[in-house]
Structure formats: C-alpha cells, structure tokens
Amino acid sequence: MFGYYVDLALRSLKYSKVLTGLMVLAIAVGIGACMTTMTVMHLLSGNPMPGKSEVLFYAQVDGTPASFAFTHRQEPPDMLDYSSAIDLWRAGKGNRQALVVDSPVRLTAPDMKQPALMEMLLSTTADFFTMFDVPFKYGGPWSTEDDLRRSRVAVISADLNDKLYGGVNSVGRIMHLHDADVRIVGVLKPWRPSPLFYDVAGGRHAHGHTADYYSKPEDVFTPFFTGLEINDGNFHQYNCWGAPKVVGHLTDSNCTWIGLWVELDSYAMVARYRAFLAAYAAQQTKMGRLAFAYDTRLRSLMEWLEFNQVVPGDVRLQTWLAISFLVICLCNTIGLLLVKFIRRGGEIGVRRALGAARRHIFMQCLVEAAVIGFLGGIGGFVLTLLGLGLVRRQAVPYADLAHLDAGMFGATFLLAVLVSMLAGTLPAWRASFIAPALQLKTL
C-alpha cells in the first residue's frame, strides 16, 4: 500500500508543479535556516570532555584581600590569586589538579631560521595532559618533578610543530621562549576542544560576546613555574585590588589571574574537596589574608560553562530566529497542503466511493506530505551546507568548527519529514472527511 501511496503522491506532485515547488521551497528554506543554526548551536553548546566532564571541577576561593572587606560581593572572582592557587595545588587533595594561566610569548626556533612568532603560552602543571586526555603525537608530558624543579621543557601543538618543523618529530629540539631556552618533550596531535573550557572565565560580564571561548588551544605548554619565570612581565590579571608593583608580574600582587582544575572521582571526594576549600578559606580569613571566608565554589565543568554562558548571544538569537522562521514556513505549508487536498476533492470522493476508508485517505495524504518533506529535506540539506559555508567564512573564532556531522545530516531529513508530516496532519484529516456523494455529484 505504501508504494502505491508514494506513486500517487508523486503523480499528484507532478500535476501541480507550482504549488509543489512553493511547498518544497518553503520547507527547504525553513529547514536550511534551522539546521544551520542548530548545527552551530550543537557544536558550541556541546560537552568538550564527553565521558569525563562529571569528574572535572573548577575550584574558586574569593581572593579579595582582607583590607577590601567593605566591598560588595555576590560571587567570588572567576580566578584565583597566586597564594591561594599554589596552596590549593600543593595540598593535592584531588585525584589530579592543574593550574592554568596563559600569556603571550615571543618564540623562535634557533635551528630553523624563521622569523620570531608571537604565540600563546599556557603555563600549567603535569596533570593537565592526563586530566584532559590531551593526545600526544610524539613524546609525552613532563613530570611533576619537572613542575617542582622548574625544568625548562615544553610541549607544543601540532599546528606549531607543522609551522616550525614541518611536522617532523621535534622532541629534543631547543626552542627559544622570550629569553630562555626550553627543550621540547612532547608534540600534540591536533586537539580542538570546543569551547576551550579550561580558559573560560568572566563570561557573566561578557554580555553575550563569548565567541573567544571557542579559539584554538595555546601553541606552547610549559610547566607552571617555568612559564611564570620565563615569561615574567607578560601576564594579565583577571581582576586586581591595587596595581601590581611591576607590570605583568603578578606573583606578589593583589590580583586574581590563575585557574585551578581538579579531578574528583567520587561523590565522597567532591564533598571532601568542598569541605577542604571552605576550611582553607576560613583559615586564610582568620589569618587576616582574605576577606570573605564563605565565598568558595566548586563547579563541575558543565556547570562552569553554564555559569559563564559560553554560547555567544548572537548564536542563541540566530537559533531562536531560525526556529520561528521554521514555524512560519510550517504555517505556510499547512495552508498550501490544505488547498491542495481540498482541490483534489473529486479524486478523493472517487476513492472513497470505491471503498477506501477514511484512514486510507488520511494515510495517503500524509505520505504525500512526507514526500514533500523529503524533497524539502534535500533542498534543506543543500541550504544547510551553504549556510555552514557562510558561517565558516565569518570572522569568528569558531568558524573552523562549523561542519555537518553524520548525526546532523540525518537530523536534517528527519526534521524535514517530521515537520512536513506535522504540517500534513491537519489537511489530511480534513481531506479524509470529504463527503464522497457531494464530490461525485459535481464530477
């Protein structure tokens, strides 16, 4: 029966080409707009660490110095001051912990005769690579001893390895960072978490301008203290109470500028870590260093991303716009389908008179709607590819991420067929109630 309905649908579609064209076009445009924005939304609001995000936490202690206890505070600053960060890291109460801070650094590869580059340097601790499942192509991460000894070692990104060394194994080579020589111990495989979650901070003050959270990871990674030493003078504060003594040198300043991620494998550990943070803040407040003891937070990765509203406001707005656009296209299609089915009243009357039940008519009309939806889906798919092409050409940090994966490809057709069948339900129901006698009389 289904095959017959499809055949009937195709005949009827051929019979009124203009009307069919209008409906297919409306669905294609609606689906195209919707799927383009949905794909971008899907890419930007996804989980950057699937399977691991539940055990990764961002620790916050309010670094406001005691002398600023008079200020108003609702949330701790998004980053830690140096003393708190180091104390919490040294305590080692999590399964793993990583300090993160990035800074721009001048870089040269002495043996490659290329002009100097400015790249972003991430100063972090050894656990970073295991915690975040960072894939290595050559070599591996440094050790915790390297962290403590301030070893002059570095891990570089695949991009930088291609740029400097043409993609060959560069482990063991010496690179010049700022004024210091560092030895490369590891080269990463291409790695592009979306968003760059470990650097996210300050989203609630960004007013939706959060596209930068989707930039590429840093190109150079060094042990935390090594980075601080080498690139001293180039660090940026997140927030300060009083200016630092020397610009860009923040280790002894009243500034917050370091992030701390901890891996906690069980609920019990999370609870223990929360208690530990609270106890630390209380102790520091008692000592007269910090102002707000009650102000600690421990958010899981996804909570932290949500708190920072990482999906850019423009993208969310575009998604709403596209959905409402699809709704209007749906209205349009319902109207046109209604016209189409009622116009064929005569034909439907004959079928009913020959013994087709109401549900047969209903099914036939629904199949016709689905066929239109499928055709619209093909158009919508082409338009989605076009739309994503446009997104890729936009000057936004996430442009290179915009592509259609298999899931979204399937979703395009599914959505198109579903939408058109939804649109077809009402007209099909109306068509199935066409009285055969009345129609036959007019034939």
H/E stretch holding 104 reads strand 96-108
Tokens at 425, concatenated = 């339900």
Q: Does 441 bind other proteins (CB under 8 A)?
A: no
- Count of beta carbons in the 10 Å neighbourhood of residue 18: 7
* Site stretch for other proteins (CB under 8 A), options 269-277, 294-302, 325-333, 364-372: 325-333
Minimum CB distance to other proteins smaller for 103 or for 125: 103
- Quote the crossing angle between the two packed helices 406-432 and 313-343, to the nearest 10°: 30
What are 207-210's contacts with CB under 8 Å, separation 24+?
A: 207/313, 208/309, 208/312, 208/313, 208/314, 208/316, 209/312, 209/313, 210/308, 210/309, 210/310, 210/311, 210/312, 210/313
* Site stretch for other proteins (CB under 8 A), options 18-26, 84-92, 292-300, 407-415: 18-26
Minimum CB distance to other proteins smaller for 33 or for 260: 33
CB of 243 to other proteins, least distance (A): 5
Please confirm whether the linkage preceding 244 is cis (ω < 30° from 0): no
Nearest to 294 by CA among 131, 60, 137, 31: 60
- Position among 176, 192, 343, 360 found at the interface with other proteins (CB under 8 A): 343
Cα–Cα distance for residue pair 377/365, rounded to 1 Å: 18
Q: Does 310 bind other proteins (CB under 8 A)?
A: no
Q: Are the C-beta atoms of residues 273 and 264 closer than 8 Å to each other?
A: yes
CA distance readout (Å), 1 to 43, 185, 353, 397? 41, 67, 18, 51
CA-based torsion, 409, 414, 417, 423: positive or negative: negative
Minimum CB distance to other proteins smaller for 76 or for 139: 76
Minimum CB distance to other proteins smaller for 14 or for 72: 72
DSSP 280-303: HHHHHHHTTSBS-TT-EEEEEHHH
Cα–Cα distance for residue pair 233/389, rounded to 1 Å: 41
Q: Does 65 bind other proteins (CB under 8 A)?
A: no
- Interface pattern 369-398 for other proteins (x via CB under 8 A): -------------------------xxx--
Minimum CB distance to other proteins smaller for 33 or for 98: 33
Cα–Cα distance for residue pair 343/412, rounded to 1 Å: 30
- Interface pattern 67-96 for other proteins (x via CB under 8 A): x--xxx------------------------
Minimum CB distance to other proteins smaller for 125 or for 332: 332
Q: Does 409 bind other proteins (CB under 8 A)?
A: no
Q: Does 245 bind other proteins (CB under 8 A)?
A: yes
CB of 23 to other proteins, least distance (A): 8
- Position among 29, 100, 270, 372 found at the interface with other proteins (CB under 8 A): 29
- Count of beta carbons in the 10 Å neighbourhood of residue 282: 14
Q: Does 321 bind other proteins (CB under 8 A)?
A: yes
CA-based torsion, 238, 242, 247, 248: positive or negative: negative
Minimum CB distance to other proteins smaller for 95 or for 234: 234
Residue keyed to tokens 């017959």: 4
Minimum CB distance to other proteins smaller for 90 or for 204: 204
Which one-letter amino acid corresponds to residue 435? Answer: A
153-156 vs 180-188, strand pairing mode: parallel
- Position among 46, 335, 350, 356 found at the interface with other proteins (CB under 8 A): 335
Q: Are the C-beta atoms of residues 78 and 307 closer than 8 Å to each other?
A: no
CB of 245 to other proteins, least distance (A): 4
Q: Across the strands, what pairs with 258? A: 80
Contacts of other proteins in 137-156 (CB under 8 A): none
Could you give the 3-state DSSP secondary structure of residue 222? strand
Count the residues in the chain.
Answer: 443
Nearest to 104 by CA among 117, 115, 116, 120: 120
Contacts of other proteins in 178-217 (CB under 8 A): 178-179, 205-209, 211-212
CB of 247 to other proteins, least distance (A): 6
* Site stretch for other proteins (CB under 8 A), options 39-47, 63-71, 138-146, 266-274: 63-71
Judged by CB under 8 A, the number of residues near other proteins is: 62
CB of 97 to other proteins, least distance (A): 28
Q: Does 243 bind other proteins (CB under 8 A)?
A: yes
* Site stretch for other proteins (CB under 8 A), options 28-36, 90-98, 191-199, 351-359: 28-36
Which positions touch other proteins (CB under 8 A)? 19, 22, 25-26, 29-30, 33, 67, 70-72, 104, 106, 115-118, 178-179, 205-209, 211-212, 233-234, 241-247, 313-314, 316-318, 321-322, 324-325, 327-329, 331-332, 334-336, 338-339, 342-343, 394-396, 426, 430, 442
